[in-house]
């Protein structure tokens, strides 16, 4: 591990004056793959939540920093940094760790938003910590920050139904599933805002019960 990464990791887990007095206090990272070929794919659900969240709080995620696109906003007096890493999914950790180290944010101020094939389409799951669960983006963040102790909000995209998983996650959902995913993304925005303003426990209690309607994927040509 390089000296620079050791310095970043040394800053994580410690609060600082910058984190408490007008600087960035919260970081929300959405995971995806950069570039037009990946726009609208299931694997880019994290990017879509960030874009919708940015629009909700009145900012844009387009400034280039930390090998990512970032945007800053105020939410009830709290300064929030939104981040979309611009390396591919399995290299998401560098941008997240760099931003966390720069602002000297403790891990409890980090929320990572990802897709999750283990959850049915539209289902949300917010957790305080945990393993990567097979998600390459989460695995890289865990490696780079040297901890599993950060919140993550998973957006369900469902399983491939026996097809190739890589093709499935990198493809765009059909219309009915797209509607369900859109509603889940909107709910995920509200969950992220609740995490910022009311705390993790309140957000888990409220939004882990939420679903955007996966039961609507009834048997038929558009079912996974």
What domains can be seen in the chain, in order of their start residue? Answer: 3-213 (3.40.50.1470)
The predicted pLDDT at position 175 comes to 95
Average pLDDT over residues 32-42: 96
Task: Determine contact, residues 79/72, Cβ cutoff 8 Å.
Answer: yes
The conformational region for residue 53 under phi > 0 = left, psi -120 to 50 = alpha, else beta, is alpha
Residue 6, pLDDT above cutoff 90? no
Out of 21-35, 75-89, 142-156, 194-208, pick the least confident.
21-35
* Token pair in block for residue 103: 């602002």
Residues 6+ apart with CB under 8 A from 126: 151, 152, 153, 154, 191, 195, 200, 203, 204, 207, 208
43 included as an active-site residue = yes
Residue 213, pLDDT above cutoff 90? no
* Token pair in block for residue 214: 């996966």
Residue 48, pLDDT above cutoff 50? yes
Residue 101 CA to residue 5 CA, distance in Å, equals: 9
The better pLDDT of the pair 143, 224 is held by 143
**DSSP 8-state class, residue 173:** P
Residues 6+ apart with CB under 8 A from 98: 8, 66, 67
Task: Determine contact, residues 157/21, Cβ cutoff 8 Å.
Answer: no
CA distances from 155 to 44, 116, 193 (A): 10, 6, 15
CB atoms within 10 A of CB 76: 9
The predicted pLDDT at position 17 comes to 35
Residue 79, pLDDT above cutoff 80? yes
pLDDT digits over 132-156, tens only? 988 999 999 999 999 999 999 999 9
Q: For the chain, count helices (H), then strands (E).
A: 8, 7
Task: Determine contact, residues 191/206, Cβ cutoff 8 Å.
Answer: yes
Residue 49, pLDDT above cutoff 70? yes
Residue 10, pLDDT above cutoff 60? no
Residue 64, pLDDT above cutoff 80? yes
Give the active site residue among 25, 42, 43, 144: 43
């Amino acid at each position: 591990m390089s000296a620079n990464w050791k310095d970043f990791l040394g800053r994580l887990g410690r609060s600082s004056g910058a984190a408490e007095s007008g600087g960035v206090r919260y970081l929300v990272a959405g995971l995806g793959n950069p570039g037009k070929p990946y726009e609208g794919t299931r694997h880019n659900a994290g990017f879509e939540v960030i874009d919708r969240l940015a629009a909700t709080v009145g900012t844009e995620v387009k400034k280039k920093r930390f090998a990512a696109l970032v945007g800053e906003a105020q939410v009830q007096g709290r300064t929030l940094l939104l981040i979309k890493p611009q390396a591919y999914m399995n290299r998401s950790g560098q941008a997240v760790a760099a931003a966390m180290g720069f602002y000297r944010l403790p891990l409890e101020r980090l929320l990572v938003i990802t897709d999750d094939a283990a959850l049915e389409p539209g289902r949300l799951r917010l957790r305080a910590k945990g393993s990567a669960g097979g998600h390459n983006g989460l695995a890289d963040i865990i490696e780079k920050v040297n901890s599993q102790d950060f919140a993550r909000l998973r957006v369900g995209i469902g399983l491939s139904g026996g097809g190739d998983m890589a093709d499935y996650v990198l493809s765009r959902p059909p219309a009915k599933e797209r509607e369900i995913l859109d509603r889940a993304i909107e709910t995920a925005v509200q969950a992220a805002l609740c995490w910022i303003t009311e705390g993790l426990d309140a957000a888990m209690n409220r939004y882990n019960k939420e679903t955007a309607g996966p039961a609507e994927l009834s048997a038929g040509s558009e079912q996974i």
